[in-house]
Amino acid sequence: MKLIYKCDLFTYTMFLVIVLMYVYNIFVNGFDAFTGISGEQVTRAGGMDGDSSLIAIISSLFAHQSASHLIINLIMFYVLGRMTYDNFGNIPYIVGFFASGIVGNLITLIVLNNGTALGTSGCIFGLIGMLLIASFSNLEKFEKLYKIKIYIAILAITCIFYTLMNFGHGTNIYSHLFGFTTGVVTGFIYSGILKLNKGCGVK
C-alpha cells in the first residue's frame, strides 16, 4: 500500500503541476493558451529557448502550447505512467520520466539554438521506450508487458512515425526521439540490473 501511495503521489503531483502550469499560461497569454501560443509567449508560459536557464529546461516539461496539446499529454502520461510504475516500480519510473524529458530538452537546445520548446512529450516518449524494452526483455517481472508486447511495439512505431511525419510542422522531434532513446537506455539498464539479480527469474 505504501508503494501504491508513492506512485499516486508522484503521478497526481505531476498531473497537478502540469494543470497549474497551464492555468499560469492562460493568465499570462490569455485566449492564445487555448488555441496555441508561439514565440515569446512560450517562454512566458514556462517554455524554453536558446537562452534558457536550468529552471526553464525543467519547467518546460510541464508547460503546454494549447488545450489540445495539454489534454493529449495528460491522458498519455496518466496511462503510461501507471503502466510504468506497475511494472518498474517508483524509482525507475521517476528517473525515467525526468531523464527522458531533460535529455530531450538539452538536445533540443543544442540543435535548435534559437528555437523554443515546451511539453511533457519527451517524458512520455521515454516511458514508451522503457515499456517497449521491458516487454521484450524475457524477465518474469515484466510478464504482464510481455503479453501485450505487440501492442506496445505498435504504439511506439505509431508515435515515432507521427513525430517524423510532423517534422517542420511545429512538432519537437528532437525532444520526442531523444526522450524515447533515453527511455530505451533506461529500460536496458534496469533490465540488465534485474538479470544480474538472482532473485528475478529469466524465462
pLDDT band at 123 (very low <50, low <70, confident <90, very high): very high
The residues pairing with 117 across neighbouring beta strands, listed in sequence order, are 48
* Amino acid 140: pLDDT: 87
CB 65 within 8 A of CB 36: yes
Nearest-CA neighbor of 104 among 47, 51, 162, 181? 181
Residue with cell 533490465: 191
Please answer whether residues 181 and 106 qualify as being in contact, where contact means their C-beta atoms are separated by less than 8 angstroms. Answer: no
d(CA 70, CA 7): 21
Q: Dump pLDDT digits (tens) for 10-46.
A: 888 999 999 999 999 999 999 999 999 887 888 889 8
- pTM, entire model: 0.89
| pLDDT tops 50 at residue 154 | yes
pLDDT at 2 exceeding the cut of 70 = no
For 48-64, how does the pLDDT look when each residue is reduced to its tens digit (9 = 90+)? 887 777 888 899 999 99
Cell 516511458, residue? 127
Q: What kind and span of H or E run contains 183?
A: helix 173-196
